Amino acid sequence: MSSDTHAAVVQKLIDLYHMLVCHNGFGEMSVDIRILKRGQKEVIIRCGKQYRFVVDTPGSDPETEAWLSNWKHEEEEE
């Protein structure tokens, strides 16, 4: 089973956020993350439709580990 990338999930979140902010009315978005077998997680984004991603968890793939370790959180920039 091939997995999606974390970058694809983040890009979808950014796209949906932008769409909601620019929309002239009410909008709602939610994210659920569930643990799957084989070192993976399921990410479901709900925003009018459901967007489902299966991503590798940290430590299961060197490329995934590098992408996540380079991620900057807002509170770390102080």
Judged by DSSP in three states, 71 sits in: coil
Whole-angstrom Cα distance, residue 46 to residue 74?
A: 24
Helix (H, G, I), strand (E, B) or coil at 51: strand
Q: How many CB atoms lie within 10 A of CB 3?
A: 19
Kindly report, residue by residue over 2-33, the tens digit of the pLDDT: 667 888 999 999 999 999 999 888 999 999 99
How is residue 67 written in tokens?
């992408």
- The answer to whether the predicted template modeling score (pTM) of the entire model surpasses 0.75 is no
